[in-house]
């Protein structure tokens, strides 16, 4: 058996198929069986607004339903738990009519009252239980239950992104009992009661989660071919942090589906008959973000120099495959509101050197630039969730070294990482990326009250004095503009401004890359790359 992080894969985890699989005609959907899914990292918390972390979202996507369904091909918002909806002209009121007969796995109804309580929690947070506000909901005021199957939401200001927000992983619907638990308690998958096609039946904390099919499930998105209960009996989500272990288990037939297959493994895996899935995330690209409050990078000329000292084409050609297109803007080319800004992302070492000269940074005897007695030494923490991030940063370090800047890469599992990453004086750069198929994703990444990628004053940063009113106005405009073409224009303006100010250096469009066995069928992906096993089935005949 394959060794998983020093432990032998238990015989009880091996894939099993029921009698239906043995007797099914060729090509027919097989009922039953256990899918073994290897995940790179353990989930951290299953409060739905924490689902942006892919190991969290990969579980939440199996056990929760959403009010609406975002078609991953067209990005259109379609019915799911809500049969229909309407809004007023300025997008400050939304009314949803719900499907009858939907229940959570504890038997309680998924009715208007439950939906109202979900969005009151996601939109306002719960300080007593330490449940934070969702980053996909802006300007939320309150809910109103009109009747058992009709709920209305009110917003303090226009919220044009709310409808799409109801389709995201961060808006998974959970029972009233789940909402009464603290954030800390929701780290235990067994405490999450949803209405989805699977339920959590067992967990070994930090190592394994078992999902079992809900036999009475019958309310999948109407757009899907799959209806009724899931085909699989179970999904075993097993944490296997080492790339070689996940690939080895897949090729040996001990796993059926794995996440985070590295680019260098794609071709040999495909050549052995396995399927590679590269699901787009359609959000902010894999990038480096500056913290302009740090004096080393407070000068626009320095940030622009480092941007033009970065060769993203070399990064992709050296480390990745065609599934990782070089970035053409802050957001991916498939993201709503994308504008091609390739001309602002040129690799130009001569320009980089000239800008550093103009900024007063002079080369020392060792080639490292200095100014006022300080060397241009920058630090960044490796981001473990991002593909080959250490190798990416090492290549960036080599590129920057040629113009006289030194980038030191700190380990992604360092105990000081969380605190130091919130202090711009200690960490002038950070790796960023977030997926969401809506222009609001730009606000989510950079607004001080959301992810605060630049560590602005009033945001997550410790005592930061930096603030950019122009940027923040654009971000709020994205979240509030009700005219769709004008909203896309503001999103384009925000992308241009972020690059004009060289606040961010985009590298590549990051997909979620999976590999599956040839006998696995029917796996699908939501709009930003999280897998769904609802329609999946196994046929090992």
Mean pLDDT calculated for residue range 17-24 = 36
**264 and 354 share one domain:** no
**328 and 433 share one domain:** yes
Mean pLDDT calculated for residue range 391-419 = 94
**109 and 247 share one domain:** yes
The per-residue pLDDT of the chain, averaged, comes to 93
Sheet strand arrangement including 374-375: 362-363, 369-371, 374-375
pLDDT digits (tens, 9 = 90+) for 411-429: 988 888 989 999 999 999 9
**143 and 214 share one domain:** yes
- 305 CB-near residues (< 8 Å, 6+ apart): 351, 352, 353, 355, 356, 359, 403, 405
Mean pLDDT calculated for residue range 427-432 = 97
pLDDT digits (tens, 9 = 90+) for 170-185: 999 999 999 999 999 9
219 versus 27: which is more confidently predicted?
219
Residue 251's domain comprises: 34-279+513-538
Q: Crossing angle for the helix pair 263-271 and 243-251, nearest 10 degrees?
A: 10
SS (H, E, C) 192-225: CCECCCEEEEEEECCCEEEEEECCCCCCCCCCCC
Is pLDDT above 90 for 461?
Answer: no
Are 491 and 480 in contact by the 8 Å Cβ rule? The answer is: no
Q: What is the pLDDT of residue 25?
A: 43
pLDDT digits (tens, 9 = 90+) for 320-367: 999 999 999 999 999 999 999 999 999 999 999 999 999 999 999 899
**334 and 252 share one domain:** no
Mean pLDDT calculated for residue range 35-52 = 96
Is 16 domain-assigned? no
Total domains present in the chain: 2
Q: Residue 1 belongs to what H/E stretch? A: none
Rounded CA gap, 199 and 72, in Å?
24
Mean pLDDT calculated for residue range 481-499 = 97
**217 and 311 share one domain:** no
CA angle 471, 473, 477 (to 5 degrees): 115
Rounded percentage of the chain residues whose pLDDT exceeds 90: 91
Mean pLDDT calculated for residue range 366-383 = 96
Rounded CA gap, 53 and 411, in Å?
19
Mean pLDDT calculated for residue range 310-314 = 98
Q: Residue 169 belongs to what H/E stretch? A: none
**157 and 297 share one domain:** no
Q: What is the pLDDT of residue 27?
A: 65
Is 391 domain-assigned? yes
Q: What is the pLDDT of residue 316?
A: 97
Mean pLDDT calculated for residue range 126-149 = 97
Q: Residue 133 sits in a domain of what CATH number?
A: 3.40.190.10
Q: Which residue has the tokens 């991030």?
A: 389
Is 21 domain-assigned? no
Is pLDDT above 90 for 462?
Answer: no
Q: What is the pLDDT of residue 303?
A: 98
**232 and 380 share one domain:** no
**307 and 440 share one domain:** yes
Are 173 and 114 in contact by the 8 Å Cβ rule? The answer is: yes
Q: Residue 317 sits in a domain of what CATH number?
A: 3.10.105.10
**157 and 266 share one domain:** yes
């Amino acid at each position: 058996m394959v060794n998983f992080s020093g432990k032998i894969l238990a015989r009880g985890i091996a894939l099993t198929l029921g009698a239906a699989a043995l007797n099914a005609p060729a090509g027919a959907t097989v009922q039953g069986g256990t899918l073994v899914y290897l995940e790179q990292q353990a989930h951290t918390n299953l409060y739905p607004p924490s689902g942006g972390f892919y190991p969290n979202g990969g579980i939440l996507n199996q056990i929760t339903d959403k009010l609406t369904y975002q078609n991953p091909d067209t990005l259109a918002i379609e019915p799911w738990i809500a049969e229909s909806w309407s809004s007023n002209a300025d997008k400050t009121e939304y009314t949803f009519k719900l499907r009858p007969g939907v229940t959570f796995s504890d038997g309680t109804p998924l009715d208007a009252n439950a939906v109202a309580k979900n969005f009151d929690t996601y939109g306002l947070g719960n300080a007593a239980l330490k449940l934070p506000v969702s980053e996909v909901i802006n300007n939320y005021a309150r809910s109103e239950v009109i009747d058992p199957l009709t709920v209305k939401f009110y917003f303090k200001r226009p919220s044009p992104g709310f409808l799409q927000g109801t389709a995201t992983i961060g808006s998974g619907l959970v029972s009233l009992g789940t909402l009464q638990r603290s954030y800390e308690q929701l780290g235990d998958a067994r405490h999450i009661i949803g209405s989805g096609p699977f339920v959590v039946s067992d967990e070994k904390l930090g190592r394994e989660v078992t999902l079992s099919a809900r036999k009475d499930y019958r309310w999948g998105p109407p757009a899907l071919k799959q209806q009724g209960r899931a085909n699989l009996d179970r999904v075993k989500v097993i944490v296997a942090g080492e790339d070689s272990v996940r690939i080895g288990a897949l090729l040996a037939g001990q796993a059926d589906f794995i996440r985070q297959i590295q680019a260098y493994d794609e071709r040999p895996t495909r050549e052995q008959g396995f399927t590679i899935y590269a699901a787009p995330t359609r959000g902010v690209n894999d990038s480096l973000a500056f913290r302009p409050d740090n004096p080393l990078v407070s000068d626009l000329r320095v940030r622009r120099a480092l941007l033009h000292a970065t060769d993203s084409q070399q990064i992709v050609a050296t480390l990745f495959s065609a599934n990782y297109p070089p970035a053409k803007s802050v957001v991916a080319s498939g993201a709503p509101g994308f504008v091609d800004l390739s001309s602002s992302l040129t690799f130009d070492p001569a320009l980089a050197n000239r800008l550093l000269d103009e900024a007063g940074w002079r080369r020392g005897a060792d080639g490292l630039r200095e100014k006022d007695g300080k060397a241009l030494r920058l630090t960044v923490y490796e981001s473990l969730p991002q593909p080959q991030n250490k190798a990416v940063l090492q290549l960036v370090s080599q590129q920057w070294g040629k113009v006289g800047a030194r980038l030191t890469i700190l380990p992604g599992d360092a105990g000081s990482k969380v605190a130091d990453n919130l202090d711009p004086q200690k960490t002038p750069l950070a790796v960023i990326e977030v997926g969401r198929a809506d222009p609001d994703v730009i606000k989510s990444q950079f607004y001080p009250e959301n992810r605060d990628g630049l560590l602005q004053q009033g945001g997550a940063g410790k005592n930061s004095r930096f603030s950019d009113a122009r940027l923040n106005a654009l971000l709020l405009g994205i979240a509030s503009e009700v005219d769709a073409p004008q909203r896309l224009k503001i999103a384009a303006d925000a992308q241009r401004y972020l690059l004009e100010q060289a606040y961010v250096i985009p590298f590549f469009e990051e997909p979620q890359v999976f590999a599956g066995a040839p006998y696995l069928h029917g796996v699908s992906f939501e709009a930003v790359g999280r897998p769904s096993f609802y329609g999946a089935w196994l046929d090992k005949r």
